[in-house]
């Protein structure tokens, strides 16, 4: 019976009605029988699987092409040419709010039972999803979101600064709540992320919590109204209070088998390569580094790796390399946040003089971790290569971070909008006045179902256009 329920949970929504206040896409449809049978552990694997799977798909369907990794060449008036439709963010809005509601329900059940580790885990998952939403849209509902059970169907949009402050406070609280002498008692076989059956798994969750907090604080360095610098220094200088990822085994990588109900995000692996070419930027950068990720990310075309210019005006002659189909085939690990990203965050913080760390060591740790995460082995002398080794610049850190963020939702896009790096080429087929989008537009359905609060958010943001800069963007 338990196995059957678990299969149902991984495959779909556990609570259909609790997210109705988060998103206007569904009507209230609460099943009180199933809710009464729930415990906080019932929610965890469905959230992990569905959120990580959706995040992988958003990299594949959006970030992959927008950020110049690949060219999808059936249509030269598409994302690779920086044309983004008004509805591009709709799925992210509905999906993340759907699973936010489940995370909130998980937290309520945990509070009833006094299960502090489940409370902390739910706060981490909440924070991850809200960080994606606010970084993709700007002002979004937070305080009044996911409260359909309170008959609150038209949530107010919170301002970005308030949302980021709330996320950072939630992660601070989660860090305190985690009890490494305990476990996740209702997930007796372990959860999908860390296989948590004892305090070692709880410590990994705690490291994810604090690593995610550093990701958010890094954005907030560009926000004058928040002292992110002091918070970062406090975390880095007291690692016993704020443990972070120390290896790939700590990283937030959701491992899936590919066997029902843990299917790969893409139903047909052949679709991963159809009408797709790898970019010159991707291929030539990894070639210049003699990087073992090249054959892991790119398939050979005849006897070589050949890239096309992203956003081209005229399709090049011949054939280009395609993405390596193995990237879309399970078993696979779906990244929420990698150890490589954490080390490259530390490298940037040291490079900017915000923390006292050896930036070269952090840089090399990050590069090595990324290569090993994808199954490669760093070759001897890799860092002696003048174009691959650390040269003291933010540009070099961000170029490696670009590859460290592979298949991690929108993080490449967010980092580019934060720093303007790496310097991805603008194809000659992209109109001169066309710029990379800064955000998604709000779903049009909000104008029908939550017009008053939509209009208030639009006024607060200075409009509802793709070009509106968010508070942390340059």
Among 21-25, 210-214, 234-238, 304-308, the minimum mean pLDDT is found in: 21-25
- Name the pLDDT band for 31 (thresholds 50, 70, 90): very low
Residue 443 neighbours by CB under 8 Å, 6+ apart: 87, 89, 90, 93, 94
Among candidate residues 465, 463, 461, the one with its CA nearest the CA of residue 438:
465
The answer to whether residue 122 scores a pLDDT higher than 90 is yes
Cα 204 from chain centroid? 18
Percentage, residues of the chain above pLDDT 70: 92
Across residues 272-290, what is the average pLDDT? 98
- Name the pLDDT band for 230 (thresholds 50, 70, 90): very high
The answer to whether residue 4 scores a pLDDT higher than 60 is no
Can you give the length of the chain in residues? 474
The answer to whether residue 25 scores a pLDDT higher than 70 is no
The pLDDT assigned to 151 comes to 86
Span 203-215, pLDDT tens digits: 999 999 999 999 9
Residue 366 Cα distances to 56, 207, 285, 343, 446, angstroms? 21, 16, 17, 5, 41
What's the mean per-residue pLDDT of the chain? Answer: 92
The pLDDT assigned to 37 comes to 58
Token pair in block for residue 310: 């992203």
The answer to whether residue 157 scores a pLDDT higher than 90 is yes
Among candidate residues 96, 119, 114, the one with its CA nearest the CA of residue 44:
119
The pLDDT assigned to 149 comes to 84
Buried b or exposed e, range 264-282, using 16+ CB within 10 angstroms: bbbeeeeebbeebbbbbbb
Residue 105 neighbours by CB under 8 Å, 6+ apart: 14, 15, 18, 35, 38, 43
Higher pLDDT, 167 or 3: 167
Residue 168: enclosing H or E segment and its boundaries?
helix 160-177
Across residues 306-322, what is the average pLDDT? 97
Span 355-399, pLDDT tens digits: 999 999 999 999 999 999 999 999 999 999 999 999 999 999 999
The pLDDT assigned to 288 comes to 98
**Packed helices 2-11 and 40-58: angle between N→C axes, nearest 10 degrees:** 30
Span 345-358, pLDDT tens digits: 999 999 999 999 99
The pLDDT assigned to 242 comes to 98
- Name the pLDDT band for 19 (thresholds 50, 70, 90): very low
- Name the pLDDT band for 38 (thresholds 50, 70, 90): confident
Cα 474 from chain centroid? 20
Higher pLDDT, 147 or 239: 239
Across residues 15-20, what is the average pLDDT? 38
Beta strands per DSSP E along 185-270: 252-256
The answer to whether residue 2 scores a pLDDT higher than 50 is no
The pLDDT assigned to 130 comes to 98
The pLDDT assigned to 437 comes to 98
The answer to whether residue 59 scores a pLDDT higher than 70 is yes
The answer to whether residue 35 scores a pLDDT higher than 60 is no
Span 232-256, pLDDT tens digits: 999 999 999 999 999 999 999 999 9
The pLDDT assigned to 440 comes to 98
Beta strands per DSSP E along 305-384: 332-337
| Peptide bond before residue 261 is cis, with ω within 30 degrees of 0 | yes
- Name the pLDDT band for 220 (thresholds 50, 70, 90): very high
CA distance 438 to 468: 6
Across residues 187-205, what is the average pLDDT? 97
The pLDDT assigned to 285 comes to 98
């Amino acid at each position: 019976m338990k196995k059957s329920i678990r299969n149902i949970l991984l495959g779909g929504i556990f609570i259909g009605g609790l997210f109705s206040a988060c998103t206007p896409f569904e009507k209230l449809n609460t099943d009180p029988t199933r809710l009464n049978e729930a415990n906080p552990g019932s929610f965890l694997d469905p959230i992990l699987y569905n959120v990580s799977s959706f995040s992988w798909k958003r990299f594949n369907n959006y970030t992959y092409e927008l950020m110049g990794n690949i060219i999808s060449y059936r249509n030269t008036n598409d994302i690779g040419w920086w044309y983004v439709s008004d509805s591009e963010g709709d799925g992210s809005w509905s999906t993340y709010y759907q699973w936010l509601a489940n995370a909130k329900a998980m937290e309520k059940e945990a509070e009833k039972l006094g299960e502090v580790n489940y409370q902390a885990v739910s706060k981490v998952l909440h924070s991850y999803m809200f960080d994606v939403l606010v970084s993709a849209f700007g002002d979004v509902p937070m305080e009044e979101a996911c409260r359909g059970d309170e008959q609150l169907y038209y949530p107010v949009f919170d301002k970005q600064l308030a949302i980021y402050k709330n996320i950072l406070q939630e992660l601070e609280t989660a860090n305190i709540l985690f009890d490494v002498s305990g476990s996740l008692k209702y997930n007796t076989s372990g959860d999908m992320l860390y296989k948590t059956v004892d305090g070692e798994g709880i410590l990994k969750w705690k490291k994810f919590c604090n690593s995610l907090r550093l990701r958010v604080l890094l954005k907030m360095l560009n926000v004058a109204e928040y002292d992110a610098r002091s918070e970062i220094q406090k975390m880095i200088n007291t690692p016993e209070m704020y443990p972070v990822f120390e290896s790939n085994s700590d990283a937030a990588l959701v491992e899936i088998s590919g066997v029902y109900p843990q299917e790969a995000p893409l139903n047909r692996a052949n679709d991963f390569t159809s009408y797709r070419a790898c970019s010159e930027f991707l291929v030539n950068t990894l070639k210049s580094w003699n990087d073992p990720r090249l054959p892991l990310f790119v398939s050979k075309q005849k006897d070589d790796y050949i890239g096309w210019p992203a956003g081209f005006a005229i399709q090049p002659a011949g054939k280009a390399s395609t993405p390596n189909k193995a990237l879309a085939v399970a078993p696979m690990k779906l990244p929420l946040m990698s150890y490589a990203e954490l080390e490259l965050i530390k490298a940037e913080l040291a490079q900017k003089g915000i923390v006292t760390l050896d930036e070269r060591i952090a840089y090399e740790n990050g590069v090595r971790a990324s290569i090993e995460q994808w199954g490669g082995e760093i070759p001897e002398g890799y860092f002696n290569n003048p174009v691959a080794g650390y040269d003291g610049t933010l540009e070099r850190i961000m170029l490696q971070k670009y590859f460290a963020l592979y298949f991690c939702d929108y993080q490449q896009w967010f980092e580019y909008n934060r720093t303007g790096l790496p310097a991805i080429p603008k194809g000659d087929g992209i109109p001169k006045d066309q710029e990379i989008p800064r955000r998604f537009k709000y779903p049009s359905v909000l104008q029908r179902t939550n017009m008053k609060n939509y209009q208030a958010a639009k006024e607060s943001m200075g409009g509802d256009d793709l070009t509106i800069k968010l508070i942390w963007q340059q």
